[in-house]
Structure 1
Amino acid sequence: MRPTWADISLPAIAHNVGLLAELVQPAELCAVVKADAYGHGIVPVARTAAQAGATMLAVALVDEGRRLREADIDIPVLLLSEPRPNEFAAVVEHRLTPTVYQGEGLAAAAAAAATAGERLPVHLKVDTGMARVGAPPAQVLMLADAIAERGTLDLAGVWTHCAVADEPDNSFTAYQIEQYNHLLSRLRLAGHHGFSRHLANSAVAMAHPAGRFDMVRCGIAIYGIPPSPAMAAHLPLQPAMTVRTEVAMVKTIAAGTPVSYGHHYRAPADTQLATIPIGYADGWSRRLGVCGGEVLIGGRRRAIAGMVTMDQTMVDCGVDHPVAPGDEVVLLGRQGDEEITATEIAERLDTVAYEIVCQLGRRVPHRFS
């Protein structure tokens, strides 16, 4: 078996969920487990989150919800995007709670529920400034009325999503909360009551108490990763993922020896060059070797040497400590007193930590503890 894997700490997931659930009380916690639980493994993470205090799970795709039901996970599952009309039969079959924001989706939801002889709870999403999906505020009352008029639908939630909450000093989050509150007032005046109100993602849940309402939807924080570097000190989150491999080969190269495709790296001195069996086909960015990427070997930081290739990566190990085939390599996580975080890797690549964990490839097996 190829010696490259990801260790996923389910106790860390449970710690983070418990920490967030306590923070946001009396609001409930919805654990976002879309995208294979941000690369951590949807079924084990969902089970752990439910046991640790999450009262709802959230996914992006009907198929993700189906996987949860087939694993006998029974708590409510919210679909964060409106399904296609032909998917609503599966929504009803698997007891998923869809988000709706278009007339066509609402009609398809009602028809699927009627065919099954059931009432279907739906959540209505409004766009308050993300400009992605969601009904324009001017249409929300019309859609809420349409849901109430249908004999097979229940308005179970009204929600929105914040665009810049991971920037603690950005005033636009307060603006979105204000707009959402205004919309809720209009719904109440129109006679709509009893639905769950939710706006908060991880960043809002952690830093904006006024945005917690009845429920918060936490994604990145339950995996132990702060929503942004600026929020790293907000809560003692525990990273859940460690990516490991082993040294496959070691050779001594002379100063000036070019390494990897394009010869962008030349050994600054005589050195031990280790090859490790992980590459960009595993989701490890090709650019890490030219933007300061490092790994941990023997508890020491070692520079990635040259372009990461499809299946392998070279590492400059210096000459101060011997390195041998079989030595453990940590690409993400802690080894000894050193730690490489998803946030650090993201900053080197000018992206976000979400992408680092989500892009881990299917060739990398997960080991759950």
Structure 2
Amino acid sequence: MNENDAVRKATLRARAEIDLGALRANVRSLRAHASGAALMAVVKADAYGHGALACARAAVEAGAAWLGTATPQEALALRAPGAGIPADVRVMCWLWTPGGPWREAIEADLDLGVGGMWALEEVTAAARAAGRPARVHLKADTGLGRGGCAPADWAGLVAAARAAEAGGLLRVVGLWSHLACADEPGHPSIEAQLTRFREMVAYAERQGVDPEVRHIANSPAVLTLPESHFDLVRTGVAMYGVSPSPAIGAPADFGLRQVMTLTASLALVKHVPGGHGVSYGHHYVTPGTTTLGLVPLGYADGIPRHASSAGPVLVEGKLRTVSGRIAMDQFVVDLGGDEPPPGAEAVLFGPGDRGEPTVEDWAQAAGTIGYEIVTRIGSRVPRVHVNDANDANDANDVNDARA
């Protein structure tokens, strides 16, 4: 029995069940939206809280040709012995700081995002030390105002990269950027950024850069902006069945299914009289005689405190609301006189099949976005991966992925 099997069969305080069959189906749906472009499965931040290695392998099984991470350490873990990622799958990372593990990344055959002259200088020195050329993607700041090379500095970065390429120290294999407002349909910055990207790509190509891939599309752009797809699309939150924005539609509108289901076992059920204060500050007071259920999850597990008195929970088929403040390790729901036994399941969110809340419901309750809800679920909550490709009951899904 492997560790995941043991966790799957154990009685747990809480669990985040990760449906890898749903993830594979999502990847296939996203590939169908991608206008023939290759797909990069972004597995940064431990695959948005879903477990990086398991999700990376599932995405590759469903046809992802690239994997993307933010930090080089995340990318190096995907290339570690035993990770199970095929060598022909490209792995890219882009969030570098001075003194980063450039040489290790080059020796691991990673693709490296470079958005400034300091980074180009460090990767060039590392390539010289490693004795092999680096694979570099030059990043253009087309209007996000975050990472990437400003248009005024683009000519200098391209010239320096071409000189290093001529010296055999690197290959410019990608030109890329990132959209600021793709989750806001019709926002004027979208077309402005795409125009600027085309201009900066064209300039680099006139200087002799011959990239393997050009890429700017993130999850919302994959779903709504086919003109942004170029050679490669980068799918992040949509791969996990969470909509990038309610403004562009629900996951089901795009053939996507939420991958994570978060549950806990009730730790206590008790009778209390009316007028009983609940949790810190007594922001909730029982309106009459009732029963209270104790859910053993709190903000130390990533449950947002901002969802106090608002977060929805399904207990024995009935929707409840967090009663009072969410504490570090626990919160309370008013069960209205019902008496589920200790150990009964409380579903915080899932795909919605049983009437349970979704990630988006919790995002609205906390005044935030779905990305934050899934990525903040902490390490005290075991990830239980189900519908693995090796499971017999998932054979049809695997065959579909390989078709």
**Do the two structures share a fold, i.e. TM-score over 0.5?**
yes
Match of 2:376 among 343, 350, 359: 359
| Contact 2:348/2:356, CA 8 A, preserved across alignment | no
CA deviation digits over 1:87-137, x for unaligned, max 9? 211211322111111212111111111211111110010111111111001
The answer to whether residue 260 in structure 2 is matched with residue 241 in structure 1 is yes
Aligned equivalents of 1:333, 1:355: Cα separation in 2? 15
Aligned equivalents of 1:265, 1:231: Cα separation in 2? 35
Q: Give the structure 2 partner of residue 128 of structure 1.
A: 142
| Contact 2:320/2:334, CA 8 A, preserved across alignment | yes
Which piece of structure 1 moves more, 79-88 or 218-227?
Answer: 79-88
Aligned equivalents of 1:141, 1:196: Cα separation in 2? 19
Match of 1:32 among 42, 50, 54: 42
Which piece of structure 1 moves more, 210-219 or 191-200?
Answer: 191-200
Q: Give the structure 1 partner of residue 127 of structure 2.
A: 113
Match of 2:106 among 92, 98, 108: 92
**Deviation >4 Å, runs of 4+:** none
Match of 1:49 among 42, 50, 59: 59
The answer to whether residue 197 in structure 2 is matched with residue 180 in structure 1 is yes
| Contact 1:144/1:155, CA 8 A, preserved across alignment | no
Aligned equivalents of 1:367, 1:127: Cα separation in 2? 39
Report how many residues are paired. Answer: 367
Aligned equivalents of 1:298, 1:336: Cα separation in 2? 14
Q: Give the structure 2 partner of residue 306 of structure 1.
A: 324
| Contact 1:296/1:335, CA 8 A, preserved across alignment | no
Q: Secondary structure at the match of 2:16?
A: strand
| Contact 1:62/1:83, CA 8 A, preserved across alignment | no
Match of 1:230 among 221, 244, 247: 247
Q: Give the structure 1 partner of residue 171 of structure 2.
A: 154
CA deviation digits over 1:219-270, x for unaligned, max 9? 0000000100112244021100000111111111112211000000011222
Instruction: State TM-score, norm by structure 1.
Output: 0.96
Aligned equivalents of 2:124, 2:358: Cα separation in 1? 45
Aligned equivalents of 1:92, 1:275: Cα separation in 2? 50
- Alpha-carbon shift at residue 300 of structure 1 (Å): 1.1
Identity %: 38
- Alpha-carbon shift at residue 148 of structure 1 (Å): 1.8
Where does 1:10-29 land on structure 2 (aligned, <5 Å)? Answer: 10-29=20-39
Aligned equivalents of 1:57, 1:213: Cα separation in 2? 17
Unaligned runs of 5+ in 2: 1-10, 387-403
Instruction: State TM-score, norm by structure 2.
Output: 0.88
| Contact 2:140/2:200, CA 8 A, preserved across alignment | no
Q: Secondary structure at the match of 2:214?
A: strand
Match of 1:215 among 232, 235, 239: 232
Q: Give the structure 1 partner of residue 397 of structure 2.
A: none
CA deviation digits over 1:164-185, x for unaligned, max 9? 1111131211111111112122
Q: Give the structure 1 partner of residue 287 of structure 2.
A: 268
